[in-house]
């Protein structure tokens, strides 16, 4: 059995599921996917690895069995000899509960990206595997982040400070920054004590700008004064901002690497 909701040991449904599969002598594989985000490349590779090695028959499920299950079922079809992309995409049909509308339309967008990469070529299982390994990028959600200046940074105690973070667009689509507090791409950053306690949360990038693939932008992250000397930790990542924080997603959720660095306060 392949569950697409990830490992959730703190929830009753997950522990009950594990107990049931163990009692029945059934192998269980956990894959972490979202019905409202393009899948991270590492999770797609894991799906393929599990499908390659699993015994049959296989039960695939998510929460409603429509979106994530349709995505993985389509991938399973693409791995079969003689399959076509159109045949695979039928796993994401309304008859199975999936509607290509709203936020779950990203399930269809995944295969749109594959079709664009094929560029008119006929699908073959080895081409799909090559794309997943080397060509797949989850839309605009990939970045190379670095600190401008010395790393670790050194700042004066008792004074507010600003650090500049260089963001290079290593994705296949442009980034759109917008003024205001919601929508578009933003920089989200957090300041931690050495013990892991959060001292400050901030955002940057509330400006009108478009960064094409291969382009870059420098973003200023402001911090309040730190009175106690010592070493602190900063975690920064770009995010796909939503109207509500609940709808926002950090690039790390798409498989991109966040930026983590130390700040010395003297």
pLDDT of residue 194: 85
pLDDT of residue 220: 97
Residue where one domain finishes, among candidates 114, 135, 156? 135
CATH code for position 191? 2.70.50.60
pLDDT of residue 246: 64
Alpha carbon separation from 5 to 24, 243, 248 (Å, rounded): 21, 24, 19
Question: What does pLDDT average to over the chain?
Answer: 94
**124 and 165 part of one domain:** no
**122 and 247 part of one domain:** no
CA angle 185, 250, 135 (to 5 degrees): 85
How confident is the model over 104-160, as pLDDT tens digits? 999 999 999 999 999 999 999 999 999 999 999 999 999 999 999 999 999 999 999
Total domains present in the chain: 2
**18 and 45 part of one domain:** yes
**163 and 122 part of one domain:** no
Q: Which of 176, 196, 192, 195 lies closest to 238 in space, CA to CA?
A: 176
How confident is the model over 210-246, as pLDDT tens digits? 999 999 999 999 999 999 999 999 999 999 987 666 6
Q: Sorting pLDDT into bands at 50, 70 and 90, what band is 182? A: confident
Asked whether residue 181 carries a pLDDT value surpassing 80, the answer given is no
Parent domain of 31? 2-135
Question: Residues 57-63: what's their mean pLDDT?
Answer: 93
**Weakest mean pLDDT among 40-44, 52-56, 117-121:** 52-56
CATH code for position 37? 3.90.190.10
**206 and 129 part of one domain:** no
**pTM to 2 decimals?**
0.85
**104 and 52 part of one domain:** yes
**125 and 187 part of one domain:** no
Question: Residues 193-212: what's their mean pLDDT?
Answer: 94
pLDDT of residue 33: 95
**76 and 148 part of one domain:** no
Residue where one domain finishes, among candidates 110, 135, 160? 135
How confident is the model over 16-41, as pLDDT tens digits? 999 999 999 999 999 999 999 999 99
Residue where one domain finishes, among candidates 111, 135, 159? 135
**147 and 127 part of one domain:** no
Rounded CA gap, 114 and 77, in Å? 14
**186 and 219 part of one domain:** yes
**124 and 11 part of one domain:** yes
């Amino acid at each position: 059995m392949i569950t697409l909701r990830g490992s959730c040991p703190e929830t009753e449904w997950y522990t009950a599921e594990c107990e049931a599969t163990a009692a029945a002598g059934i192998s269980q594989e956990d894959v972490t996917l979202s019905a409202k985000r393009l899948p991270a490349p590492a999770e797609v590779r894991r799906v393929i690895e599990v499908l390659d090695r699993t015994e049959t028959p296989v039960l695939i499920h998510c929460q409603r069995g429509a979106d994530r299950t349709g995505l993985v079922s389509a991938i399973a079809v693409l791995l079969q000899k003689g399959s076509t992309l159109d045949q695979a995409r039928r796993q994401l049909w309304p008859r199975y509960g999936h509607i290509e509308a709203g936020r779950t339309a990203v399930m269809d967008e995944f295969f749109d990206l594959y079709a664009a990469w094929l560029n008119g070529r006929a699908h073959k299982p080895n081409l799909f595997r090559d794309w997943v390994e080397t060509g797949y990028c989850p839309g605009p959600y990939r970045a190379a982040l670095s600190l401008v200046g010395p790393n670790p940074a050194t700042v004066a105690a008792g004074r507010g400070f600003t650090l500049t973070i260089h963001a290079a667009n290593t994705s296949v689509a442009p980034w759109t920054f917008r003024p205001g507090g919601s929508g578009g791409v933003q920089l989200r950053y957090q300041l931690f004590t050495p013990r892991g306690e959060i001292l400050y949360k901030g955002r940057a990038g509330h400006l009108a700008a478009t960064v094409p693939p291969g382009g870059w932008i420098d973003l200023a992250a402001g911090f309040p004064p730190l009175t106690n000397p010592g070493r602190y930790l900063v975690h920064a990542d770009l995010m796909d901002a939503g109207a509500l924080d609940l709808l926002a997603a950090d690039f790390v959720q798409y498989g991109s690497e966040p930026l983590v660095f130390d700040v010395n306060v003297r």
